[in-house]
Amino acid sequence: METNNKYKSELQVKSKTENLSLIRDFVSSKAEAAKFSREEIENIMLAVDEACTNIIKHAYKSNPDGKINIKIEYNSDKFVITIEDYGRSFDPEKVPVPDLPRYHCEKKVGGLGIYLMKTLMDDVKYISVPGKYNRVILSKNFSVSQN
């Protein structure tokens, strides 16, 4: 992504759930400009919503004064959303892949967001530097027909 960047854009918001719609609108407009299909735009928007919801609830424990930085970059190959927060770090590897039927029986709700992100995007990476930042990087490849 360092070279051949066609586009870069950033949004910084406070960690409030009321900002989720602003975040979705931001992501949706950039994905639309990158010429994704309506279905792909919806999927990217949902994945980013899930990532930010997790940040608000878990990294900031619903404290509305935390910062969330969302950066969108894309070139001819892929569309990358980097979301950074400065709250509590967490290890996504410790969140098990949900066994969905059992999950419902046990009435667990958390963990579905990570599962959705991984299902809807081509790549999801977490980088956490405790005490400094947590970063989640969501990538969607462009299909050949879009290039």
Q: Provide the binding-site residues for another protein, judged by CB under 8 A.
A: 16-18, 20-22, 24, 39, 42, 46, 49-50, 53, 56-57, 100-101, 103-104, 107, 109, 112-113, 115-116, 119
CB of 112 to another protein, least distance (A): 4
Residue that the structure tokens 């424990």 belong to: 61
Tell me how far apart the alpha carbons of residues 7 and 79 are, in angstroms, rounded to a whole number.
9
CB 20 within 8 A of CB 54: no
Question: Please, which residue, 24 or 30, has the CB nearer to another protein?
Answer: 24
- Give the distance, in angstroms, between the CA of residue 13 and the centroid of all CA atoms in the same chain: 14
CB of 16 to another protein, least distance (A): 8
Side by side, the strands of the sheet bearing 7-14 are 7-14, 67-74, 78-85, 133-141, 123-129
CB of 113 to another protein, least distance (A): 5
Tell me how far apart the alpha carbons of residues 80 and 122 are, in angstroms, rounded to a whole number.
10
CB of 39 to another protein, least distance (A): 7
Question: Please, which residue, 49 or 84, has the CB nearer to another protein?
Answer: 49
Question: Please, which residue, 5 or 29, has the CB nearer to another protein?
Answer: 29
Structural tokens at position 132: 């400094």
Closest CA to 73 of 3, 142, 141, 5: 5
Question: Please, which residue, 109 or 129, has the CB nearer to another protein?
Answer: 109
